[in-house]
Structure 1
Amino acid sequence: MTEMTTRVLIVDDDVEFLEGLKATLVGQGYQVDRSSHGADALMAIRLVRPDVVLLDIRMRGISGVEVLKRIRTMDPTIPVIMVTAADDPVVIRETREIGAYGYLVKPIEEARLTRMITEAVAVSRPGRDGLGRLARPVGKAAEAKG
């Protein structure tokens, strides 16, 4: 990993999948939070401010699409990667229009997952600078830059 640990929030109502994915990501050095309900996920986003969200589309209660809409309202800079067992082009288009970063179909290939998380965080970090996510030069280094 990099010197800055990436914080991932996984949202999925399939607890077995959730725990398996958490174990995989923790093993790769990610800091992982998890939620099995959309409402809990929205609260977690307010509290832990994840670098990236892995969000199941079909969940009990609030759907993943609705959670994505609410995340976009709360913080449009958080990249959200949609995860689902159904490869539905209509849903893919809808979630992209709402602002999803990407889309992964279960079962998820570990290398593709890692690559997508890395790319999403790299793209979003500059936009999240106001949230304190970027390291800033201090002292003489800051003066030289500015």
Structure 2
Amino acid sequence: MKLADGLFLESCREVAKKYPGIKYNEIIVDNCCMQLVSKPEQFDVMVTPNLYGNLVANTAAGIAGGTGVMPGGNVGQDHAVFEQGASAGNVGNEKILEQKKANPVALLLSSAMMLRHLQFPSFADRLETAVKRVI
């Protein structure tokens, strides 16, 4: 995969040169997932291609308690989309809904992310506080 990631890595390196005050590091995805499990505090922001991002996000979701509690957001220059992070495990799953086991936490936390993005921090804080009280 190292060879196939050439353009992505080239672009990242180019951007990193423009911002020398921001630490930039490269890591192979399997080692990244292992490091994420063993020493997650070393990570802050990750930039990955889609496939690797899914692998890393699902690993992080497992650490945090599963996809049912992981918010997600994709923020671009002009638009933003907020959704349940990692794989959408219980969204639209009839069996889980019938058993009343669906977990709305990730969707609620994603809504808080959206509210914060839209400059409504007090509403985001209220929603996050309510979720924390329930958990």
- Please report the TM-score for the alignment, with normalisation by the length of structure 1: 0.33
- Please report the TM-score for the alignment, with normalisation by the length of structure 2: 0.35
More helix per residue: 1 or 2? 2
Structure with greater Cα Rg:
2
Structure number with the bigger relative contact order (C-alpha 8 A, sep ≥ 6) is 1
